[in-house]
Amino acid sequence: MEKNNVKEDAGFAGIDAAKEVGEISYRALQKAKGMIKPGVRLIEVAQAVESYVKENKYGIAFPLNLSINNEAAHYTPSIDDTKVFSDNDLVKVDFGAAKEGALGDCAVTVDLSGKMQTLVEASEEALKAAISIAKAGVKVREIGKVIENAIISRGYQPIRNLGGHTVGLHELHSNIFVPNYDNGDETILEEGMIVAIEPFATTGKGMVTESDVCEIYSYDMEAQTRMKEARILLGLIQKNYPTEPFAVRWLANAMESSFSIYAGISELSRSGALMPYPTLIEISGGAVSQAEAEIVVEKDGCEVVTK
């Protein structure tokens, strides 16, 4: 039992389970991709895709991310979101399903402008290059190097403070980081590891920072608060979302006003009960593309499970 727990922490979450959630995650991602068109509301896509996964008897690893243009990650619609896609948007779609602690994770970029295809291809080709060398014994810095080379060769920059990661049970970002450049990390991949590889390419400087927009949180710990709204929300979160991240809009029916919900969430975040996941933006305002797949590391290669 102790040995298995160590392996789960290192990204060994069960190959059969990874394949199962990988397949439904990919299907959900393709559904989202097909819905993204100018004039369509972001919240319509998010609700449809998340409902699709639930209807197929799966949980959600994290809320559907619909990050646009210089947003690299973590944007999901708010409770009263009115935002629609425009014909100039570059949309990163990032999503994963869940089942009994096994978590999927995959992403694609949709270019509604038709003008950013080379940037989209930069992250896609970088992902292919990384998958082509991923196997047991390969150092994560080597994966980062091929990602970096693929992106730079197309005239763009990799985002250096984002990257891939091992995936454990109930732990989307496990303890091994897979960089998007050669960061000198000698850590090696081991056979049986579940790894999400996710190159980000940008027209900007290649770094992201947190914005002041946050719609995704996860439960962190019990905390005392005097605010009634915060106490009500904490009970709901502990009951319904004790492990994986959740979207504030999932709590829309908890109270009569969205103001009360956001006030309660803010109090819980300040108290340490919740961990926030702010929207990440490229520091120089550069456009960002993303491609991501989840793999199982094998002795002589790897198998993509988000397919």
Q: Which residues are catalytic?
A: 94, 105, 165, 173, 198, 292
**DSSP bridge partners of 127:** none
- Token code pair at residue 101: 């602690």
Contact 138, 188 (CB under 8 A): yes
The whole-angstrom distance between residue 229's C-alpha and the CA centroid of its chain comes to 29
Q: Exposure string (b/e) for 234-251, b if CB count within 10 Å is 16 or more?
A: bebbeeebebbbbbbbbb
Distance CA 209, CA 286 (A): 12
Contacts of 219 (CB under 8 A, 6+ apart): 237, 238, 241, 242, 243, 273, 274, 275
- The C-alpha atoms of residue 50 and residue 62 are separated, in whole angstroms, by 10
Asked if 143 and 184 touch (Cβ cutoff 8 Å), the reply is no
- Is the CB of residue 64 less than 8 Å from the CB of residue 46? yes
Would you say 198 and 29 are in contact if contact means Cβ atoms under 8 Å apart? no
Question: To which residue do tokens 């996941």 refer?
Answer: 277
- Write out the E strands in 48-127: 59-68, 71-73, 90-99, 102-103, 106-111
Question: What's the longest Cα–Cα distance across the chain?
Answer: 56
Q: Which of 5, 37, 15 is closest to 192 using CA atoms?
A: 15
How many helices and strands in the chain, by DSSP H and E?
7, 18
Cα separation, 60 vs 43, whole angstroms:
16
